[in-house]
Amino acid sequence: MAVESRAETERQHPVSPVAADVRLDRVTKNFDDVTAVDDVSLEIERGSFFALLGPSGCGKTTTLRMIGGFEEPNAGTIYLGEEPVTGKPPYKRDVNTVFQSYALFPHLSIFENVGFGLRRRGVRGADVRGRVTEILRLVGLSGMEKRKPRQLSGGQQQRVALARALVNRPRVLLLDEPLGALDLKLRKQMQLEMKAIQHDIGITFVHVTHDQEEAMTMADRIAIMNGGRIEQLGTPGELYEHPQTAFVAGFLGISNLLPGTVSAMDAVRLDDGTTVKVPQEALRGRSGRVAVGVRPEKIRLGHGEENRLSGHLLETAYVGVATQYVLDTRAGNISVYVQNSEPGAQQAVTGEISWSPDSTFVVDSMEGAEAE
Amino acid sequence: METRATRIGLRIATVLVIAFLWIPLLIIMLYAFNSSSIQSWPISSYTFHWFRDAWHDGDVRSALWLSARVGLLATGIALVLGSAAAFAIHRFRFFGRESVSFLLLLPLALPGIITGMALNSAYVFAGVSFSIWTIVTGHATFCVVVVYNNVLARLRRTSPSLIEASMDLGADGWQTFRFVVWPVLSTALIAGGLLAFALSFDEVIVTTFTAGAQTTLPIFILDKIQRGQQLPIVNAVVFVVILATVVPVIISQRLTHESGLLRRR
Ligand SMILES: Nc1ncnc2c1ncn2[C@@H]1O[C@H](COP(=O)(O)OP(=O)(O)O)[C@@H](O)[C@H]1O
Ligand SMILES: [Mg+2]
């Protein structure tokens, strides 16, 4: 009933200017006593590269499988475009999946693997040949048509799996850790290639990964999942610059989190008494105990910026393009990255650091989370 | 140095074992073509005569016919029950799953003489009179295991996502069976069936307990050899039994090794 009335309102007032290709409306999935996906709502814009990012077991695969039709939600509705698809079997949904294990048909040639979906939909003869040849060229596998999957390397099998799904020109392509079985170098290369392919053909990609770097490299928008819920959704830049929870801040790279208490519309008093200026919008809706965050590379040596702390140097580590310093301050330990190209980067640190209020973010106090 | 010596030693041992296994077989097979009715070495001249005699011998014919029917029926039953059991064990986790698996495998480990005696007393106890079905039931006990093992091994080596991938690409249940499940499993079923047939075709021990007065081909051979009768004809029959068991085993070996399964190399 609730779903119906909501769909009605939306017909009268279209919500977003760009149509959503996939929409999850308060979707929940339980397995026995485990809640794998907990009341998740999200919209995935047409033609975007969307990533579901989170640690193992947070419900990413389950979410993807519900979109593909391999699991049915216990509650909530899934829409592909305007159409609710909950309850429809996979073969009646206009989506295709790239499986983590690739799931190539071992008894069929590469050509027949890629042509499988076309044939099931009644495409015949020369049309199949034309489309399969074209997509194999796109993924760089021309000339492999006659081989069997086991005669290909892991990277090539991965491309076949991609081609087999893309050749059907689905509304949405689902990818479950598609690069997980490849070695690091190949993975980096495929990340860029897949991004380029998605850009070329303009199909919506929904990409599941636990690798934050992979998600940041490939996706236009990322939903960070934790314990079956979406912690935060946004562009890679937004998530990195303005994480809203300690979990998101910690999951995307290193961050310094300093406990304190909200003291003004745009300030937080740290536990050592220092006051830190923060952007007003970062504080919205918060009072009492919070944690103030700043990324190590946003911190400068010396007291040139508005937010200042002093301490003494604990450690120095040379990490290629940058040098990492760890300082002991009364507000807590703080990591600082200084580009090695910057003048004076190698000099001994005086113990004075500072950063701009614009680079500061605020998350809920971690004390409660730790007690949990 | 030592490794080289070991390697040569191993090779010699392997050749000896193979020779030990195959030379007697080859000699028996050669005897089938011996034109003299007395087995003596070396064979002086060769003939197909005994095969013709065997083919026209009524006892041989009825024994061959019985063995073929028993083999086919036992194989058929094994294919149905063995693959059903393999699917059940593979797909579902249920209470007593391990015990069921163990109970299915037991007949292969149990000596044939025990299986035979047990079945025999069960038939007598239940008042079942001996017929082709008593033999078929006896053979089915070990034939089911062979098919079960083959199909289960194939299922375990097959990615569970294959069926989902097929449905994902637009195939409904029937198309998924026809284009994915059957092609992937068929070689395992055929291999299991051929092995089951080969096992049944030359089985003696269980058969002696379950056949009553009926004579299968191996029983015929045993009988004639014990009495020292019609030995040249027996040689021709033995030749056929060897072919009927070795050939299916070789084909089944090839099928299980060449089947196009995704194996990580
Ligand atoms: N078929 C299933 N049966 C029971 N529990 C499951 C099943 N699939 C997933 N789960 C559980 O649901 C949770 C989320 O799993 P999953 O979606 O696979 O996470 P992720 O892909 O993020 O690693 C886990 O706790 C997992 O154990
Ligand atoms: Mg997963």
**Any idea which of A2-6, B92-96, B123-127 has the lowest mean pLDDT?**
A2-6
Smallest CA–CA separation between B259 and chain A, in Å? 8
Q: Which residues line ligand 1 (CB under 6 A)?
A: A 31, 34, 36, 54, 56-62
The DSSP string of B93-123 is --TTHHHHHHHHHHHHHS-HHHHHHHHHHHH
Q: How many CB atoms lie within 10 A of CB B199?
A: 22
Q: Give the A-side interface with B, CB within 8 Å.
A: 68-70, 89-91, 95-97, 99-108, 116-117, 120-121, 148-150, 164-165, 168
Arithmetic mean of pLDDT, B9-17: 91
The closest CB to that of B170, out of A91, A99, A108, belongs to: A91
How many CB atoms neighbour CB A296 within 10 A? 19
Does residue A12 carry a pLDDT above 60?
no
Average pLDDT in the A39-43 region? 95
| pLDDT band at residue A6 under the 50/70/90 scheme | very low
Peptide bond preceding A73 in cis form (omega within 30 of 0): no
Cβ distance of B261 and A101 shorter than 8 Å: no
| Other residues' Cβ atoms within 10 Å of the Cβ of residue B194 | 22
> Where are the domains positioned within chain B?
53-264
Q: pLDDT at position A255, please?
A: 85
pTM, two decimals, is 0.77
Q: Residue A95 is inside which H or E element, if any?
A: strand A95-98
Burial degree of A46 (CB within 10 A; 0-12, 13-18, 19+): middle
**Subunit contact B171:A101, Cβ cutoff 8 A:** no
Which pLDDT value is given to residue B2?
65
Mutate to test the pocket of ligand 1, among A28, A33, A34 (most ligand atoms within 8 A of CB): A34
Tell me whether residues A150 and B183 touch, CB distance under 8 A.
no
Q: Report strand pairing: A289-294 vs A256-264.
A: antiparallel
Kindly report the CATH class assigned to B53-264.
mainly alpha
The percentage of chain A sitting over the pLDDT mark of 90, rounded to a whole number, equals 65
- Categorise residue A302: left if φ over 0, alpha if ψ from -120 to 50, beta otherwise: left
Q: Model confidence at A302, in pLDDT bands (50, 70, 90)?
A: confident
Average pLDDT over residues B187-203: 91
> Which residue, among A230, A220, A271, A268, has the nearest Cα to A251 in the 3D structure?
A230
Lay out the sheet containing A360-364: strands in order across: A275-277, A267-270, A256-264, A289-294, A360-364
Task: Outline where B58-202 has alpha helix (H).
Answer: 58-91, 97-109, 112-126, 132-157, 161-168, 173-176, 182-201
pLDDT at A360 over 80: yes
What does the pLDDT read at residue B94? 73
Q: What is the ipTM of this complex?
A: 0.80
Chain B residue with CA closest to A68: the answer is: B168
Q: How confident is the model at residue B249 (pLDDT cuts 50, 70, 90)?
A: confident
Say what the pLDDT of residue B258 is. Answer: 56
Mean pLDDT, rounded, of chain B = 85
- pLDDT in the model for residue A368: 53
